[in-house]
Chains A and B, each alone.
Chain A
Amino acid sequence: MGLLSLAIWIPIAFGVLLLALGRDEHARVVRWLALLGAVIGLLVTLPLYDGFKLGTAAMQFVEKAAWIERFNVQYHLGVDGISFWFVPLTAFITVIVVIASWESITERVNQYMGAFLILSGLMIGVFSALDGILFYVFFEATLIPMYLIIGIWGGPNKIYAAFKFFLYTLLGSLLMLIALIYLYNQSGGSFDIATWHQLPLSGRAQTLLFFAFFAAFAVKVPMWPVHTWLPDVHVEAPTGGSAVLAAIMLKLGAYGFLRFSMPIAPDAAREWAWLMIALSLIAVIYVGLVAMVQKDMKKLVAYSSVAHMGFVTLGFFIFNDLGVSGGLVQMVAHGFVSGAMFLSIGVLYDRVHSREIAAYGGVVNTMPKFAAFALLFAMANCGLPGTAGFVGEWMVIIGAVKANFWVGLGAATALIFGAAYTLWMFKRVYLGPVANDNVKGLKDINNREFLMLALLGIAVLAMGIYPRPFTDVMDTSVAELLKHVALSKLN
C-alpha cells in the first residue's frame, strides 16, 4: 500500500471501527480512538511532503491497479503540486475537529467521530484520485456522512438544511457524471483523467462539458448564484461540520475546476472566462456586502467564505501564474482561517448557546486568551500581511491587475469589505464593556480548546510569514497547467 492509500484508508478503517463500537457508554474510548485514528491519518501524510519532488509537474506517489476491468476503471492515485497540499490539510483539520468535538458531542459519539473520520478519508480520496470514476465515487460518497452529520447533530432547522445540501450538490454531480461517461466514450474507453487532458474535442462538446462540470463544481464552491445552500447549511450544521465544510469540502469544487474544467475544455474555459470572472466578482463584492448585514455569526462567516472562494475562482480564470497559484494558496489559507473562525464560534456557542452577534459584547473581558486567538483569526480573515489570508489575496490581486486593471480593482474591494465585516463583528462581539450576564459568566478556554486554537494559530502565522513551502510545491504544476490551457484542443 502506498502512502496515499494509507492516508485514505486509515481514517476510514478507524471510522468503521468506531461505528461498530456502538453505545455511548464507551464514549471515552471512542474519543481517544478517534483521536488516535485522526493523528495516525495525519502522520502518514507527513512523509508525503518529505518525498515530494519539486520541479516536476508529473504525478507523484502514483498507485495504480485495475479496479473495474469491464469499464477499464483504475484505482489510480497520485498528487501533483495542485492537489498536494489538500491531503495534509484535510488530515490536519480532521484532528482539529476531533479535538473540537471532544466535549460538545455527548450523544452517539461513535457515529459522530466515525462519520468525520470516514469523511476525511473520502475527501483525501477526491484530491488524489486520477481516475474519473474513482474521483466521482469519492466526491459523491462525501455527501452521505455530511448529510448525516448535519441532520443528526445540527440545529433546529437541520432537516431542511441537510436536504438542501444533499440535493443541491447531487444535482450538480449528476450532470458531471454524464460528462465523465461522455469523455470515456470519446477517449475510446478510458477514465484516466490525464488521458482526457490530451483529448481533442470540438468547440460545442467543450462548451457542453464545461457547463456540465460547472454545474458540479460551481455548486460545491459555491459560486454566486448557486451559493444559497451554504449559509443555511452552515447555520444548522454542528461546529465540526461547519469547519470541515468550509475548510475542505468547498475546496473540492475549486479543485475540480483545475483538474477537469480547465485542462479538459481549455477553449471553452477561455471562451467563458468572462462569465466566471463576472460571477466571481459578484461573489466578492455583492456577497461581501451581504456578509456585512448578517446578525448571525455563522452566517456572516459563511457569506465571507463565499466571497473568499469567489477570490479563488477569480484567480483561476485570469489564466496567469500569480492568479492560479494565488487561488491555490488562498484555498489552503481559507482552509485554516475559515476552519478557525467556525471553531471559535463553536467555542462561544458551547458556552452561551447563541450565535447572534447581539447576544455578545465585551467577551475580551471574560475570555482574554480566547479573544487573542479570535483577533488573530479575524485579522487573517481580512487578509492582514503576516497571516495566511494575506498571501493568496495579494497574489490574486496582482495577477488580476496584470490581466485587467478593472478586474483587479474589483477584486481589491474584497480587502475593504472583508476588513469591514470581520472587524465589525469582532468589535461587537469581543470589545467594549461586558454586555450581559451570559458574557459575565463566561469561562476562558480550557487546555483542550487552547491546543486546538493554538495549532490553527501556528498554521495561520506560519503560512503568512513563510509561504514558500506552499508556493514551491505548486509552481511547476501551475505553470504546466497554464501551458496546457493556452493550447487549443479544437481539431
Chain B
Amino acid sequence: MIDNISWLAIYPEIVLLTMACVIALVDLGINSKRRTGTYVLTMLTLAVVAALQAMYASSGNTFYGFGNMVVSDAMGNWLKCFATVAMMATLVYGRPYAADRDMLRGGEMFTLAMFALLGMFIMISGNNFLVIYLGLELLTLSSYALVALRRDNATATEAAMKYFVLGAMASGFLLYGLSMIYGATGSLDIGQVFKAVNAGQIKHQVLVFGLVFVVAGLAFKLGVVPFHMWIPDVYQGAPTSITLMIGGAPKLAAFAITIRLLVDGLLPLAIDWQQMLAVLSIGSLLVGNLAAIGQTNLKRMLAYSTISQMGFVLLGLMSGVINGNVDAAAVESAYSASMFYVVTYVLTTLAAFGVILLLAREGFESEEISDFAGLNQRSPLYAGVMAVCLFSMAGIPPMVGFYAKLSVLQALVASGQPWYIAMAVFAVLMSLIGAFYYLRVVKVMYFDVPLTASNVSAPVDVRVALSINGALVLGLGLLPGGLMSLCADAIVRALAT
C-alpha cells in the first residue's frame, strides 16, 4: 500500500521524536532544581528543528511521504518553524515561573512540550484525515497533562478536568464529522476527498452533515463562539507558563488543519462552510469583546480577547470564496491574510504572556490587571513591551496587529459584496470595543501608582527573548512586507497542489 515512504518529508519530526525520548532518558540523570541540562538540550533540539524547517520552507519544495499521508510544503514548514520558535520562547519565559512553583521536579514539562510540538507538526503536515486526527490527539493529550502539571493546585486540576472533558468532546465531534465525509467520499486522503467532492456526485446532505461536525470540532480547537467556554477557564486555571503553551503555538496548528480540511479538502463546499464561519466569527467578535470588558483577571481578559481575535481569523477564512466561485486571487489574499493574522497574533501573545510570567513571583501570581499598576515606574522596558503588545492586539498602527487587521479587512472589502463590507464595518466597531479594554491595561501600567516599588528582575535569557519579541511586534509593524509576502507565497504553494 505504502509505495513511496519518502522519509525526507518527516525528517524534522524524526529528529524531534528521537530527541524527546533521549531527553526524557537524560533527564533521569539530572537533578538540578531548574533542570538546566534538560532545558539546554531541549532548546538546542528545538533550534535545530526550527532551522531544519526554515530550510525546508525556504526551498519552497512540496513533497509527499508515506503514500500521500503526509505532506511537506512551504505553508506547513513555515508554520512548523514558527511553532517551534514559539515553543522555544514559551519555554524561555516559562522556566523561571515553573521552577518557582516546583513544576520542574521531573523534566516532564520539557518532554511533554516536545511531544505537544510533535503533535502540532503531525497536524500541520497531515494530508490524510487520520493523520491529522492522530496529531491532534497527541497535542491535546500532552496539553491535558501539562495543564495538570501542578498536582497540588486545585484550580489547575479543575482546569485540566474541564479541558479534558471538553477537548475529548471536540475530538469526538471532529472524528464523527470526518467519518461522515469518509462515508460519503470513500477516502481519507485529502486530495481524493477533494476530487470526489468536486465531481459533485455525492449526496449533499451527507456531506454537509459531516461538515457541520467538522466545523464544530475545529471551532472547539480554535476556541470560537459558541464553542469557546473552555478557553477562559483553562487560560485562567492553568499555570501561566502552560497557558502560554496552549494559547501560543497550537493556534498555528489549528489554523493549518482548518486550511487542510476546509480548503484543501472541502473547498467545493465553501458556500456551506462559509456561512458557518460567518456566524462563528460574528459571535466570537461580539462575545469575546463584550465579555473581555468585564474581566479583572488579565489571563481571563486575554482569553476572551483571543476569542475575538480568532473571530478575525475566521473572517479572513470566510472571505476567500465569493458566491461559491473559487477565484485564485481572492482565495490567496483571504487565506494569506488569515495566516498572517495567526502568526502575528501568536508573536504578540508570546510577549504579552512573557511579561505576565516575568511579574509572577513566588507565591504571587500577578494575573489581576491591578497587579500591573505602575509597571512603567518599576520597569519602563517591560511596560513598553506590554504596551506595544496591547496596542498591537487593539490594531493600532504602527504595531504589526494593525496590518493583520488591515489585510483581513481588505480581503473582506475586495469581495465587493455588501454583506461582507457590512461584516468589515462590524468587525471594525468591535475592535473599537477591543481598544477599550486593551487601553485599560495600558492605563493601569502607565497612569496608576505602583503597589510595590521593587524593580523587576529577570534572568538574562528571558530579558533578551522578551526584548527581541517586543521589538519584533513593533519592527514587523514598520516593515510588514516580508512576512506578508512569505504568508502569501506559502498559501499559493499550499493551494497549488
B-binding residues in A (CB < 8 A): 19, 22, 66-71, 108, 111, 133, 136-137, 140-141, 143-144, 147-148, 151-152, 158-159, 162-163, 166-167, 170-171, 174-175, 177-178, 181-182, 184-185
Contacts and interface: CB of A to CB of B under 8 A. Distances in A.
B409 A181 contact: yes
B397 interface: yes
Contact of B485 (A69, A111, A151, A163): A69
A159 B413 contact: no
Interface string B362-379: 000000000000001100
A68 B380 contact: no
B429 interface: yes
Interface string B434-471: 01100100110011000000000000000000000000
Interface stretch (B263-271, B276-284, B398-406): B398-406
Given A67-B481, A177-B409, A181-B406, A163 B428 contact: no
B484 A68 contact: yes
B428 A178 contact: yes
Nearest to B428: A174
- Pick the most buried of B376, B428, B431, B485: most chain A CB atoms within 10 A of its CB: B428
8 contacts: A71-B407, A137-B398, A140-B397, A141-B398, A152-B376, A167-B435, A171-B429, A185-B416
Given A68-B480, A137-B402, A159-B447, A178 B380 contact: no
Contacts of B380: 19, 22, 111
Nearest to A107: B377
A159 B409 contact: no
A167 B436 CA distance: 7
B195 to A, nearest CB: 31
B86 interface: no
A234 to B, nearest CB: 18
Given A70-B481, A140-B402, A166-B435, 13 more contacts: A71-B484, A136-B397, A137-B398, A143-B396, A152-B446, A159-B443, A167-B439, A170-B396, A175-B425, A175-B428, A178-B428, A181-B406, A181-B413
**5 A-B pairs closest in CB distance:** A137-B397, A68-B481, A174-B428, A151-B447, A70-B484
Q: What does DSSP make chain A's interface, helix, strand, loop or mixed?
A: helix
A163 B443 contact: yes
B447 A158 contact: yes
B416 A133 contact: no
Q: What does DSSP make chain B's interface, helix, strand, loop or mixed?
A: helix
B254 interface: no
A141 B421 contact: no
Contacts of B407: 71
Contacts of A182: 413, 421
A406 B244 CA distance: 65
- Pick the most buried of A70, A133, A148: most chain B CB atoms within 10 A of its CB: A70
Contact of B447 (A111, A136, A152): A152
B447 A141 contact: no
A152 B375 CA distance: 13
Contacts of B377: 108
Contacts of B410: 71, 181, 184-185
Given A178-B425, A181-B413, A68 B439 contact: no
Interface string B466-497: 00000000000001110011001000000000
B292 to A, nearest CB: 15
Contacts of B439: 147, 163, 166-167
A162 B442 CA distance: 11
A171 B484 contact: no
- Pick the most buried of A19, A66, A67, A147: most chain B CB atoms within 10 A of its CB: A147
A159 B413 CA distance: 35
A128 B153 CA distance: 57
B104 interface: no
Given A167-B432, A171-B432, A174-B428, A144 B447 contact: no
Contacts of B488: 70
B465 to A, nearest CB: 19
A387 B488 CA distance: 57
Contacts of A159: 443, 447
A162 B447 contact: yes
Contact of B391 (A144, A167, A178, A181): A144
Contacts of A147: 439, 442
Contacts of B443: 151, 159, 162-163
B109 interface: no
B436 A163 contact: yes
A380 B435 CA distance: 39
B396 A148 contact: no
B484 A141 contact: no
B256 interface: no
B9 interface: no
B414 interface: yes
B406 A133 contact: yes
Nearest to B397: A137
Given A136-B397, A159-B447, A166-B439, A174 B431 contact: yes
